[in-house]
Chains A and B, each alone.
Chain A
Amino acid sequence: MADQRSPWFMPAIFAGGLVFGLGLAISGMARPEVVLDFLQFDDFGLLFVMGGAAVVTGVTFFVATRYLDRAPLTASEYTRRLKRFDRNVVLGGAIFGVGWGLSGICPGAAYASFGIGNYPILWAVGGMFLGAYAQGFVRSRLSDAAPSS
């Protein structure tokens, strides 16, 4: 992935992030209160955020994997996002869900939240780094101890 990067690689990533963040801010997902309103059944608008976004990526993935050759800036092949299923997918999803329901914030929305001036969100970003570090530290220990995995 991304072996031969064109000079336009980083500008394209930044432009994509810019539009992504703009969308998160417009949609209200950058505000934990809006997410909590959805999870508490006071406002179902978030269905349109995830639904609208998934339809756009779905059509893009379908067209690119079928009809397009290789990505212009990296020469990578177009693939779909298919990850192997194991019990961690369910366990991780459950832990993430409790955290999302408690705080109303998920990773991408947290970065966008900082962008709209919501500096208290750094509590959440700090927590996310700490959580990512904790699970990575434990899993590094486990895999370093195992002969091979």
Chain B
Amino acid sequence: MAVTPLVGALFPRGVLPYLIGGLLVGLGAAIIYLSTGIIAGASTFLESTLSYVSDASRFNRTKYVRSRDWRVVFTLGIVAGAAVWGFVLSPDPGAWTTDVQPWRLAVGGLLVGVGTRLGKGCTSGHGVCGVGSLSRTSLVNVATFMAFAIGTAQLVAALGVSP
């Protein structure tokens, strides 16, 4: 019982939603992998979708053009799955909106767009599938983005910007 306050301090929202959510994220990737052999990451969608509207050679590489249709379907699936939780299954159904300022979302999003594509993956590609593959490239990438994300978030908080 002595550990309960410590657990409460480290995990104020409890552990279960995080664990169940994480297992489902892995299960979603596993469904796609076992049925198609595809290792799905979420950020390639950003570039492969641009091939529909841009002639730039980077976006029109064969591997993007050949995967762009299912990547759109994968993304629509993510939106739909989250909507099923948010509007139907959640204990408190209904739309939820963030209090993070639009400028932080836009500037942060811009850097995420550059960084994930330059670094060959994001939280799902490197963080979940790459780490699951014990890839050294992915482990280095994850350690790097974690360190910079923690540093940035702490700095933002220290400057008094909230949430």
Residues of A within 8 A of B (CB): 1-2, 8-10, 12-34, 36, 39-58, 60-61, 64, 68, 70-74, 76-85, 88-121, 123-137, 139-140, 143-144
Residues of B within 8 A of A (CB): 10-15, 17-40, 42-43, 45-47, 49-50, 54, 56-59, 63, 66-67, 70, 73-87, 90, 94-100, 102, 104-138, 140-157, 163
CB-based contact B145/A96 at 8 Å? yes
CB-based contact B110/A17 at 8 Å? no
Q: Which of A9, A24, A71, A78 counts the most B-chain CB atoms under 10 A from its CB?
A: A24
Query: What 5 additional pairs, Cβ within 8 angstroms, besides A96-B115, A100-B108, A125-B109?
Result: A94-B144, A96-B112, A99-B110, A117-B97, A136-B56
Closest Cβ of chain A: how far from B51's Cβ, in Å?
9
CB-based contact A116/B83 at 8 Å? yes
CB-based contact A96/B111 at 8 Å? yes
Docked Cα-Cα span, A125 to B68, in Å, equals: 17
Docked Cα-Cα span, A93 to B119, in Å, equals: 5
